[in-house]
Every structure is written in C-alpha cells, then in structure tokens.
A and B are shown apart, each in its own frame.
Chain A
Amino acid sequence: MNLVLLALALAISWLPAAAWLWRIIPAGIPARVPLVSGYACLLGLLGTTLIMRVFSLLGVSWSLPGMALVSLVIALLAFVCPASGDGVGDPVPGRVRRQLSRPQQVLVALCLALLASRLIALGLELGTRPITAWDAKQHWARQAKVFFDLKSTAPFVSLEQWLALGGDGVYTNLHPDYPIATPLLQAWIAVALGYWDNSLVNAPWLLMWLGIGLVFFAQARLAGASIIVALAACYMVLSLPYLNIHVALAGYADLLLALSYLGAVAALGNWLQSRASWQMILALASGAGCLLVKNEGFYWLLSLGPGLLLAVAGLRRGLTVLAAAALALLLTLYWLPGDFAIAGHSLASMEFGYRPESWLSIYLSTLVHANWHLLVYLLLIALLLVPMKARAMIPLAAVVIAAICLYLTLYLVTDNAHGAVRFTSLNRVALQLMPAAAFFTLSVFLIASGTAPGEKQ
C-alpha cells in the first residue's frame, strides 16, 4: 500500500507539469517523450512545493486528496491552452533514421542494462536505509518533520530571535534563511503516506536522478547526438559516483539544484542553436527553479547571463560589455557596506581574501578522487576545443566558465575555503554544476566531430 501511495504522490507531482509541457513542447521533435518526462520531474517537484506554500498561505492543511485535486485541475487547464506550433523537427537536417547495426544494438542494450542496474541499486539503497547523512538530519529532514506535523509551512528564525520570542509560534535551526523546497518535498511524501517514513520520504531523489537522465538524453538528442551517443553520454552522467551517493544517501538539496541547473543550461544551449522559444521557456523556468532550492542557486542563475549576452549582442560587443560589467561589479562590491546581503550571506561574512590552500583540495576533488570519473578531464578538453573547433559553443562556454569562476571564487576568495580544505562542501557545490558541465562537454564534442546541426557531415 505504501508503494502505491508513494507512486501516487510522485505522479501527482509529475502530472501537471507533464501536461503543460506536452502543450508547450512541439510535436515532431526527437525525444519529445523523455524531454517532457524529464522536465516534468524537475518542474513538477518544484511546482509541488509552490502549491504547498500557497496552501499554507491560505491556511489550508496539506492532504493527499487536496493536492491531487489541485494537480488534476492544473493538468486539465493545460488542455485549454493551445498547443505550441513552433515545431522545429529534427535539429539535424537530412538525418536519416537508420536501423541500428548489431554492435550498436549491443551498445544500446549494454547502456540500458547498466542504467537499470544502477536504478535498482540506488532504489534499494534509498528505499531500505533510513535517513543517514549529516545535513539531511541536521537541517532538511528536521525542518520537513515540523512541516509534516503541522501540515503547513512554519516560520524558522535565528537562534537569537527564537529566544527573544520564547519559541512561541516559531522554530529555529542553524540556517533559517535557506529555501524550503527540499523539506517541502519530504513533507509532501510523508503527507501522502500518512506518516513519516524514515526511508520513503527520500523517494523524490530517485525521481531527480531519473529526471537528470531524461533531460540530459533528450537535450543531447536535440543537440544533434544520435540515440547511441545520447544514451552512452546519459549513462556516463548518471553513473557519476558522487551523484549516485547523493541518491543513495538522499536528503540533501544539491541534487535537485543539479537537475535545475542542468535543465537551464541544456535548454539555453539548445536555444542558442535553434532559437526555439519553448527552449527559452524551459531555460528560464529551470533557472528560476534554482532560486527555490538553495541560496547558491542565485549565482547559478546569474551565470546564464554571460551566455545570453554573447548570444544577443554578438561575440565582440558581448565580451566588451561583459568585461565592463565585471569591472562594475567588482567596484560595486568594493563600495557596498559590509552588512549588505547577497543570497543569504552578508559581504562582511564572506571575508574576502585569497586563500591558495584551497587549490590542492580543488585539484584532488576534480582530477584525483573518484567523484566524477573522467568528466573533469573531458570538460577541460572541451573548453580547449571551443575556440578551435566549436566556436558556435562560445556563448554556452561563457555560461560554464562563469559558473566555474563563481565556484573558484567561493573557495579561493571567501571564508568558504574551509569547506574546501576539509572537503566538506567542495564536492556538494560541484555536484550542482556537473550534469550541466557534462551537457556542455557533449555539445562541444558533437560540434567538433561535425555531427551537430549546421556543421559539415
């Protein structure tokens, strides 16, 4: 019965987003079903948290029937909206659908088998083990239990405020300013089950893993990858050990942010090639979703800016504007008062200053430890290839480089360096970027190899 309720809860999250995406994303494009399914995983989960907030604002307690009804109404409303006619068809003109040869069939079967094995292993681990990891208990799930108990959101304040108010009507934890999408998802599953299940409340993390795979596969197909290449690359992303760990030891917010950022970057990347308006909608929706998940989502959303600027203004003018903007930003940060807060952190608390001791940790985490298999090596090669063999990818490279610069700034120039030296947050923040970086890497190789749209075959 629990599994039925769980499936129902995930379907209630997925369905309204899928219905709207089915109307927005034109028919006839390759991989439409995985594209709709993947983005429905992301936007559906985020949408669920928004509906829960609205319920709380209106003073309505969360319940399975209530959420199901709203979900159904939203899904039905989608069919009132006219379907998108902005079909672009296959992004690789003249690409002929050929039957797969025997070796290709073996490769496809192998990838599917490996993915199935990974899904089963992660599903068993997640579904059997109670919440284990530190922050999952210290912050996210602890907040989720309060939300579930009240069937509503509740105000969380700082320790000092809590004491001043005598704890009356407020709760406290160490990061009351963190976005609440993650605990809302756990609370939602608990509401659907009718009780707090120490394992099953993390079921959305398996959906996030699937969402990453579906979004990656579909957008890779739209970028010009054949089924085999897209599937192989999808397996490579979904097999990243550190990404798997965040499913197995579920309960952190980083995986959802990774899915959001992938959704944004992949859609933006394909919009840069095709200028399809629905891709821009996906990019903006996914990018905005980053803000709901973690404070650093603000920075990842900002990282999309350079790519957009270069795409709109052209390379030369765009780079000039970017340089001027970067200088203006530095001057602004210099002149702003120390108590000015950005994404939940005051400038004074960041304690700006060069911290070279973080370099070793960054090097070990990306190129030596087994967190990312060979991904970072391939990413570095892709970045080198862009100016030589894939100039069309310059705007998307600007997005990735901007994100990398922000990441390096976080660990080399701010007080967060301790998170690098002690290997506590370094990989968790990197996880938020890696699936998107993988998509960028694949896109570069597709163009460099001449299989992407617009290149000579």
Chain B
Amino acid sequence: MLHLFTRIFVLVAFGLATLDARAEVWPAGLAKPLMGTATPQGEGIILQPNAAGQVLLEFPVEQLSLAANPRVRLRFDGPPPLQVYLLWRNSIDGAPLHQFKYLPRDNPTPIIDMADHANWQGEAQLLQLGFRGPPGQKIHFIDMAIYQPGLADHLRDLWQNWGAFSGWKPADINVYTGTRDFSSGPFPTPVFATLVFAAVAVYLLLARRNASWTGVGLIVFCGWLMLDGLWQVRLWQQVELTWSTFSGASNDEKLARADDAAFSNLARKASEFIGNPQAQVFIATRSDSAGMKTAYYLAPLNVYWHRHGPELPDLDTLAAGNFILLLRPSALRLDVEKNLLIDGRGNPLPIAIRYQDRTGLLLEVMR
C-alpha cells in the first residue's frame, strides 16, 4: 500500500509541476522608459530613477485581455523598488488612466492579483509600469508576465495563505482560522478533512475485506499530523517573535517592551503619586481598551471602571481623597484654570492635577 501511495504522490507532484499557467511575458528590453534611465545589463535592464525617485516604463500591448489574465508577475534581480505602480487604459471606459499601487516589500518576484480590481476589464490599450524608490537606487528589472493563474498558482496562493504568520492579535484568544485573514479561505481544516476521508475511501475500496481499523486510524493520524504541521510551524514562529521581544528582560522591562507600555507606565507613575494603598481610583475614558488596560495595571489599587457605562458615576459620590485617572478619549472636560472636571451634564468637580503624560492625567478630588 505504501508503494501505491508513493506512486500516486509522484504522479500528482509531477502533474502539478507541469500545470503552470501560460503567461504573456514582456522582457525588460521591450519597455520604453518614459521617466528615469534604462541601461541593458545581462538578462534585463538597470533602471535609475529621476530626481523625484520615479521610473516609468511603457510596454507594447496587442489584444491583451485583462479580465482573462488577472495575475501580474514582476521579476527583479536584487532588491525590488519600494513602490510599484501598475497603470493601464482599458477598451471599456477608454480614456481614464487607471492606477494600482503595490508594495513588494523585499520580494524580488512579487505577484499582483488584479482579479478583484473593477477596472481590470476589457482589452488593454495602454500598459505602463511605474517604480518609486529612494534617490540613487538602481533597480535591476528582468521582465513582467501577465497571465491566467493555473493550478500551481492556486496551490502557491493556498500555501501562502495557510503558511502566513503574524504575531498575536487580540482576537486570537477567541478564534484561530488557520489562514492569513479571518475571511480568506479556503480554510485548511475542511480541505484536509476531505483529503483524509477520500484517502480512507480509497483505502477501503482497495483493501476491501483486508481493511482494518489500524489502516483507517493511520490515515487519519497522518492527515492530522500534516494539518498540525501548519500550526506547529506557526507556533514556533510566534515563539521566535516573543523570544526576540521579551527574552532577557526583567519583570518591569517586559511591560516596557509590550504593546501596553504607555498604560503600564502611566499606572505605575499614578500609583507612585497616589501612595495610599487604600485609595479609591476611578478610571474615566470612553476607550474600552484603555480603560481595561489601565484598570489592570493599577491593580491592586481599589479601582472603579465601568465598561460600556458612564465614564464616572454621579459626581456627588466622589469624595475628597478619591483619584480619577482620565484617559483619552473622554467626553469629560477639564478646566485647567479653575481646576474643575466637568461632566456631560455640566456638573463641576473640583480637582487637582497630580500627574500627566501623553496617555492620561491623574486627578485628585478636592472638596
């Protein structure tokens, strides 16, 4: 059975490798430079931006159907430009010059997917490529290809979608999709489930009476392993990021390096000014996030924070010696000259500013 699976795997892999899309390719030599200079070198051309950091190339086009060819692949030898602009005119709306900006980052062979662009329709009547880079940058441009993506391209997209990594986001504690974005499928789980069940079906058909639960179990386990491989890699990438951010840091330094640093710092300073561990502290802000973080970092002080409620309770309930930590954004108004905090109904509260920084202000109630 292992021999059979190996044969099938090799056939599929070979088939996939040959199923690349047919592309229309424009070597760099065909491009006419309209901005910047171009010097042939090797397989491509060396482009030098003008004083404004711009390069503009125009390509000859003939009967190029845009909608049928939504992928644009660029090839550079060396670092790509900071920004790439795709400019075109189509046969449907004629006159307007459409533009699409793309950031290749460090990718020397960026692929731009124009499938969702409303104006990538009809036939191309004009096709230009613009680059923007820092002054003095030399861009070694090889060629541009425009094509209809094939199976290999879709598989490559799939791999990039499933293998994409970004550090922890707040929503990650609630859901893990296994993809780059929340809504961007296809998702790996149903794909692997289908493959596993198909493999089990094939096994049962081939093995018939010789089929065993062990065989089925092995197939399921292998499918699970492969699916888990994606998660395992992502987890280790996260560990690497966490390690590079926080390792070697002391307990307080970790907070300084975290995303909450501004709030933990404010809370620490506020706690120092407050001094009294029995003091009551009211957190006033319209920001859910700011309120939550500050309430946490102020603990173990006795903190009042009303999530989704009024920023402060009735001002009559506040007594001398209470503290208010006022965070942006807030609907409360501070009259610095008169040392008054004024609520939404215009009621004033006498206060004194004890500490302030860019994140918030610590006020003491003075009655």
Contact = CB atoms under 8 A, between A and B. Distances in A.
Interface of A: 114, 117-118, 121-122, 124-125, 128-130, 132-135, 137-138, 141-143, 145-146, 148-150, 159, 162-163, 166-167, 171-172, 174, 195-199, 229, 232, 236, 239, 241-242, 244-246, 248-249, 252, 365, 367-374, 377-378, 423-428, 445, 448-451
A371 B300 contact: no
B210 interface: no
B251 interface: yes
Most buried by A among B185, B247, B254: B254
Contact of A159 (B232, B238, B246, B306): B306
B231 A138 contact: no
A132 B225 CA distance: 29
A167 B306 CA distance: 14
B232 A117 contact: yes
A136 to B, nearest CB: 8
5 contacts: A130-B255, A146-B300, A166-B317, A174-B307, A427-B176
B331 interface: no
Given A128-B242, A149-B277, A369-B187, A374 B299 contact: no
B3 to A, nearest CB: 15
B295 A145 contact: no
Given A125-B239, A241-B231, A195 B193 contact: no
A449 B255 CA distance: 53
The binding surface of chain B is classed by DSSP as helix
B176 A374 contact: no
Nearest to B297: A137
Interface string B108-137: 000000000000000000000000000000
Contact of A369 (B178, B193, B319): B178
A129 B176 contact: no
A134 B292 contact: yes
Interface of B: 168, 170-179, 185, 187-190, 192-193, 196-197, 213, 217, 220-221, 223-225, 227-228, 230-232, 235-236, 238-239, 242-243, 246-247, 251, 254-255, 258, 277, 280, 292-293, 295-296, 299-300, 302-304, 306-307, 309, 313, 317, 319
A165 B45 CA distance: 78
Contacts of A372: 189
Contacts of B299: 141-143, 145-146, 149
Nearest to B185: A368
A150 B301 CA distance: 11
Contact of B304 (A134, A162, A236, A377): A162
Contacts of B178: 241, 369-370
Contact of B302 (A135, A171, A249): A171
A166 B319 contact: yes
Contacts of A428: 173-174
Contact of B173 (A146, A167, A241, A245): A245
B278 to A, nearest CB: 9
Contacts of A196: 251
Most buried by B among A167, A371, A425: A167
Contact of B243 (A118, A128, A163, A424): A128
B296 A137 contact: yes
Contacts of A369: 175-178, 187, 189
Given A121-B239, A137-B293, A369-B176, A167 B224 contact: no
A365 B71 CA distance: 32
Given A199-B254, A236-B224, A371 B176 contact: yes
A130 B236 contact: no
Contacts of A135: 173
A134 B307 CA distance: 13
A365 B187 CA distance: 11
A129 B304 contact: no
Given A138-B295, A149-B277, A449-B213, A374 B192 contact: yes
